[in-house]
Structure 1
Amino acid sequence: MKLVLGLFFDREYLKGRHFDEGLSGYIWGFRSIWTRNILRLAPPCRFPANHQATISNSDRIEFHPDDLNNFQSPGTYLQNFAGNIRLGHGTYIAPNVGIITANHDPANLNQHIEAKDVIIGESCWVGMNSIVLPGVTLGPRTIVGAGSVVTKSFPEGQCVIAGNPARVIKNLNESRNTS
């Protein structure tokens, strides 16, 4: 089965827990081939991804193969035609999350301003319907509350952020020390 999947996807993404500990990776792979490569419901990707996940440029995304599940949620929007997105190992991206590396130029909406990379650290969780804007860096163990708009970086991590614009609502280091 991996031999067939290797014809469509980079082999580096055909390993890890979704392939070694069950069949989910294989199911996602064959579903992705069917919907993205054969039916052309979405552009082909270099890794298995749900056809309802919008990925501008799969070459500009860096992630660990164990986190292939992040590209199976419907409505996930990764706009990175310019700029890179880096997802740390053990990070979870919920459905309908937007991660954006470039915005329109307010002076000329037909153009984009310069792209800025988005970096999400290890063991983070970005809640449903959240948006992470260009240039944001989230440190390890950052939890983004559902529906949040992340406009600035929280590089220290170890926190829960929420709101519009997102702000720290809980420091996870403090909550660990009090138990």
Structure 2
Amino acid sequence: MEPLDAGKSQSRTGGPSFSLGNRLARAAWMATWLLLARWTPPPLRGWRALLLRLFGAKLGRNCRVHASVSVWHPANLELGDNVLIGPGARLYNQGRITIGSDSIVSQRAHVCASTHDVSDPQFQLVVRPVVIGAQCWVAAEAFVGPGVTMGEGSVLAARGALFENAEAWTMYRGNPAAKLKARALQSGEA
């Protein structure tokens, strides 16, 4: 499955946002995940990582993607080392989602890399990549919106909704998310 172009409307004619080939590949992906991964226990994380890689995801070492996670398009997913994607998380990656090493996306969090052009009468899809830096935490049931970059070490508190970039080593909360406070650097970090 080919990754999609960032920041561009996927259809200029009012037709489907995705080609038939893309839709068939995603149907194969969804069937594969349902039949071969969705029921697996937590220790089979290596098996789930293999399935994601077979469908084009780029995963670092020791990634833990829970069986109940929803990944829309594996070819638009890149995870660094030691990334945890918690139970029920949704990676709605019509656009590219990149998550840096040692980051956590907690249970039922939602990361969304697309939106719609509200000035277009057909509301055509516009993909906008999301970048979550290293050592970040997207807490339970939080939402990271299209085009957002979370700087290294930033935190989005539970049920927060982030629509603008997050500064490095800063905590955010609320809807829309606002800065709460600076986050202390761990010893040995620059």
Report if TM-score (shorter chain) is over 0.5. Answer: yes
Counterparts of 1:83-98 in structure 2, within 5 Å, are: 83-98=95-110
The answer to whether the Cα contact below 8 Å between 1:104 and 1:110 also exists between their aligned partners in 2 is no
Q: Relative to 1, partners in 2 of residues 1:112 and 1:128: Cα closer, same or farther, differing over 3 Å?
A: farther
Tell me which residue corresponds to 2:52. Answer: 45
Residues in 1 aligned to 2:119 and 2:159: alpha-carbon distance in whole angstroms: 28
How many residues were matched structurally?
137
Counterparts of 1:101-120 in structure 2, within 5 Å, are: 101-106=113-118, 111-120=123-132
- SS of the residue aligned with 1:96? coil
Residues in 2 aligned to 1:27 and 1:152: alpha-carbon distance in whole angstroms: 35
Correspondence 1:64 to 2:80:
yes
Q: Relative to 1, partners in 2 of residues 1:150 and 1:57: Cα closer, same or farther, differing over 3 Å?
A: same
Q: Relative to 1, partners in 2 of residues 1:77 and 1:110: Cα closer, same or farther, differing over 3 Å?
A: farther
Residues in 1 aligned to 2:170 and 2:65: alpha-carbon distance in whole angstroms: 29
The answer to whether the Cα contact below 8 Å between 2:69 and 2:89 also exists between their aligned partners in 1 is yes
Report how far residue 102 of structure 1 moved. Answer: 0.8
Give 1:157's match in structure 2, choosing from 156, 168, 176: 168
Residues in 2 aligned to 1:28 and 1:173: alpha-carbon distance in whole angstroms: 31
Report how far residue 108 of structure 1 moved. Answer: 6.9
Residues in 1 aligned to 2:156 and 2:180: alpha-carbon distance in whole angstroms: 10
Q: Relative to 1, partners in 2 of residues 1:109 and 1:98: Cα closer, same or farther, differing over 3 Å?
A: farther
Higher helix share: 1
Report the AA paired with residue 149 of structure 2. Answer: T
The answer to whether the Cα contact below 8 Å between 1:133 and 1:149 also exists between their aligned partners in 2 is yes
> Identity rate of aligned residues, in percent?
23
Q: Which whole-Å deviations, capped at 9, do the CAs of 1:70-112 have from their partners, x for residues lacking one?
A: 2xx221100112x101101111110001000112444679754
RMSD: 2.9
Report how far residue 171 of structure 1 moved. Answer: 1.5
Tell me which residue corresponds to 1:4. Answer: none
- SS of the residue aligned with 2:75? helix
Residues in 1 aligned to 2:143 and 2:127: alpha-carbon distance in whole angstroms: 16
Residues in 1 aligned to 2:101 and 2:79: alpha-carbon distance in whole angstroms: 7
Residues in 1 aligned to 2:173 and 2:121: alpha-carbon distance in whole angstroms: 29
Tell me which residue corresponds to 1:6. Answer: none
Tell me which residue corresponds to 1:131. Answer: 143
Q: Which moved more, 1:134-143 or 1:58-67?
A: 58-67
Residues in 1 aligned to 2:151 and 2:121: alpha-carbon distance in whole angstroms: 32
Correspondence 1:170 to 2:166:
no
